[in-house]
A and B are shown apart, each in its own frame.
Chain A
Amino acid sequence: MHTRSFFLYVPSDSPLHRMHPLVKFLILIVINVFALTVDSPIMLTMAIILTLIGFKVARIPLKKMSRFLILIFLVMQGITVSYLLASRIPGRTVLYETPWGTYATEMTILYAFTMVLRFFTMLIGSTLILASTNDRDIVYALRSLRLPYAASFTVTLAFRTMSIFLDDYFKVRDAMVLRGTDFSKGSIIERVKKYVYLGVPLALIAVRRIIEVTQAVEIKGFKLGGKRTYYHELEFRRVDLVISILTLLVLILIFFFKYYLQCPLLSFPGI
């Protein structure tokens, strides 16, 4: 059966897929905090390699990352250019100085590269976790956090609305085209105006849908509070508890080594 998912989910039967979604979210947060805390290019590279190994273990094809390639390239370009033009990172050789007082050294290039590694670590770490978690499990993870049911219902409704709204957009656009609107002709201002006129019926449809869906949920006895039962129950196993503890331990150790012991391995060289 095809599993439709918004979040890159790849069905598989790996240890990562079997993990409780709450544990996966914890790992996601720790990966991001690790990338933010550590600014050593070597440690970030090791984290990337470990994450790529994780893709292999979870049997998730690396081509899932292909969607991000163009934007990764743009981000790398943006980070590099902004550091080369607007930073003052001391190094052995000043490559050039700008008229506005910033300069670039060999350490500027290394630091920009480190920031690209940071971004990439967060990106592939998040992709690995979300590729092993389907939309339903994301909602169940929110519920496991003891958040009100309304929070997970909101997220589910947002996903559903996205595909419905896309249909509405094409319907309204086609209706306008049939009435003689040509979105490709005219100056940029005229084209923007046409798209703005397209927005008015779409906003109206959204408001009407709010009222209709509210009537539907109220008829079905939707309540904000109270106890609910669920069709799927996800068990928090002993192995999930062990992994959670180990993950938190890793986080504590990172902070301990970085800020208390000031271990140079976790910092940018020279800082």
Chain B
Amino acid sequence: MSEEKVSEVEYVYEGKIRPIHIVMTGITAGVCAVLAMFAIILVPIPGIPGGSGLWIPAGFYFAFTLWFGVWGALGGHIATTIAMGYFLGYTLQVWLDGGLGDFIAPMVTLLIFRALKADPELKTRRDMAIWAISVPLSSLICGMWVHTVNAYFGIIPWGYWWVGVVSYLIGDSIAIFLIATPLLKLLSKYVKATPAYVRGIIS
């Protein structure tokens, strides 16, 4: 490609962060927010504030995070804050609990995948094994965060903490395995061929 400056447009692409990354975050946030509202309405858990028995958006933002890096995780974060806040009010507790938790969870899986150079297409047994281990580990870390926040805000007593963590681990892992696994297996190859795919964490 010629280095001669032809037009101003060529210099839009300088730097690691590009407009496509911002667009990814916005669109994944919009998609996951709607799915999160469906999840809260269709499969609520009585007594668990803003909780859902099948956190459908988790499957999507885990897949989006493995395809789009931190931008997919940010989308999940914004989506959960919007959706939980819609039902529970836009409070500090909702943001710290659901919003940040749903940023931490996919980021743990992303970091494991990138560190171990696993392929999101999940073609080999090694990739499947990394997926099978990273998802419950992410859900466990996220569950611990979420219920620590809930206990700190007094929503649950500390004695209930481990109950919340275990139920979060099981529920979240099931949703992610059910939804994200077919998305990754079927669409990763297509996404990797598009300019949207992020090979690293940020770009």
- Give the interface size bracket for B toward A: 35 or more
CB-nearest residue of chain A relative to B163? A86
Partner of A74, one of B34, B47, B85: B47
Of the A-B pairs whose beta carbons lie under 8 Å apart in the complex, a sample of 25, sorted by A's number, is: A74-B46, A82-B160, A87-B160, A102-B159, A125-B91, A126-B91, A155-B26, A155-B78, A157-B27, A161-B29, A164-B30, A196-B182, A200-B186, A203-B64, A203-B187, A206-B27, A209-B27, A210-B23, A211-B196, A214-B195, A221-B8, A222-B19, A223-B12, A223-B19, A224-B17
Binds B, one of A28-36, A228-236, A245-253: A28-36
How far apart are A69's CB and chain B's nearest CB, in angstroms?
11
Check A74 against B22 for contact (C-beta < 8 Å).
Answer: no
* Interface residue? A165 (CB, 8 A): yes
In the assembly, what is the distance between CA of A199 and CA of B34, in Å? Answer: 13
A154 touches B78 (CB 8 A): yes
- Which residues of A pack against B, CB within 8 Å? 6-7, 28-29, 32-33, 36, 39, 67-68, 71, 74-75, 77-79, 81-83, 85-88, 102, 114-115, 118-119, 122-127, 130, 150, 153-162, 164-166, 169, 192, 195-197, 199-200, 202-204, 206-207, 209-211, 213-214, 217-218, 221-224
- Complex Cα gap A79–B12 (Å): 51
B residues near A160, Cβ cutoff 8 Å:
26, 30
B88, A210: Cβ atoms closer than 8 Å:
no
B31 contacts chain A at the CB level, 8 A cutoff: yes
A interface, by DSSP: helix, strand, loop or mixed? helix
CB-defined interface of B58-92 with A at 8 Å, one 1/0 digit per residue?
01100110010000001100110010011111111
Interface on B for A, CB 8 Å cutoff?
A: 8-9, 12, 15, 17-20, 22-31, 33-34, 44, 46-50, 54, 56, 59-60, 63-64, 67, 74-75, 78-79, 82, 85-93, 153-160, 163, 178-179, 182-183, 186-187, 190-191, 194-196
**When A87-B159, A123-B88, A161-B26 are in contact, do A211 and B195 touch as well, CB less than 8 Å?**
yes
Cβ of A118 and Cβ of B153 under 8 Å apart? Answer: yes
> Could you say which of B29, B63, B154 contacts A39, with CB atoms under 8 Å apart?
B154
> Whole-angstrom distance from the CB of A234 to the nearest CB of chain B?
20
Given the known interface contacts A206-B28, A207-B194, the answer about A36 and B163 at a Cβ–Cβ threshold of 8 Å is: no
> A28 CA to B90 CA in the complex, in Å?
9
Query: In the assembly, what is the distance between CA of A207 and CA of B186, in Å?
Result: 13
Of all chain B residues, the one with the shortest Cβ separation from A217 is B19
